[in-house]
Structure 1
């Protein structure tokens, strides 16, 4: 009898435990699901871009003409508005960014054609130039510090002159040279970037005068440019 009672008690306890376990399995879990993390997009400089720029340019070259009374005389230097458009491509690897950029600019960089006797033939301050440059720099997240350099071309005006001995000569032609500079660019958004850039441009301007070599006539086209630009970066 005693063993029967103990057996019945054990069976009842087992049934109670089993029922409790089954009921607990039906209850909703008290554990929270694993949190889901959405990774923030990481900005990259890689991609094509295009934009506009505006700034100031000033002549630093040497312009000389021949005066029959005073000999060789240095011409005037000046400066003015520079503005245009640019387009390019960047590729980022780690912190480093490399790319290529081309631009075309209007440039009123001053009258370089000062000549003896009259201002009518002094030349135009209006002109243009363009560049095809490589760019390389270091990115600090959305900020990019870079250097740039490459080919330059253009006609910045001022290659026209008059001298009573040498006569009237024009030099409206495209000349080739080089450019070197650098700048800082910042990504305002994932698509828009703003930059400040400085360039030195040296165009191999040809002598306008047939006798220029004999009287030390020179028409150097060298100028500096400081400009600000806004780019749209294509995703």
Structure 2
């Protein structure tokens, strides 16, 4: 059994959109930073044979839409794909262990403009 949970992540992104009435569709892209924790139990006994935390830098791209419900309240829906590359493991039982580090997120939000 292998686990690879995303521990922490940060993204720096730019976005460009076009406002039409109260709607603003947009696309966004940027750089992402994350820390993953890798756990491996190759024989299923419950004892971890391998554990490691590692930081990665990757890229992200996405698209979304903002809707101004009022002049101050904005709703947002967005899809984001992030790719941190691959992590390879060399060990005694499997020389070709590779994990693709990718995330697909759907985000919903509310913002208040002052």
TM-score for the superposition, normalised by structure 1: 0.41
| Residues 93-113 of structure 1, C-alpha deviations (whole Å, 9 max, x = no match) | xxxxxxxxxxxxxxxxxxxxx
SS at match of 2:70: coil
TM-score for the superposition, normalised by structure 2: 0.79
Task: Please report how far the alpha carbon of residue 205 of structure 1 lies from its aligned counterpart in structure 2 after TM superposition.
Answer: 4.6
State whether structure 2 residue 45 is matched by structure 1 residue 145. Answer: no
SS at match of 1:170: strand
Larger radius of gyration: 1
How many residues are aligned here? 109
Match of 1:200 among 81, 85, 99: 81
Q: CA RMSD for the aligned pairs? A: 2.4
Residue number in structure 2 paired with 1:135: 15
Contact 1:161 1:168 survives alignment (8 Å):
yes
Q: Distance in 1 between matches of 2:35 and 2:22?
A: 36
Residues 204-223 of structure 1: matches in 2 within 5 Å? Answer: 204-207=85-88, 209-211=89-91, 215-223=95-103
State whether structure 2 residue 108 is matched by structure 1 residue 232. Answer: no
Q: Runs of 5+ in structure 2 lacking a partner?
A: none
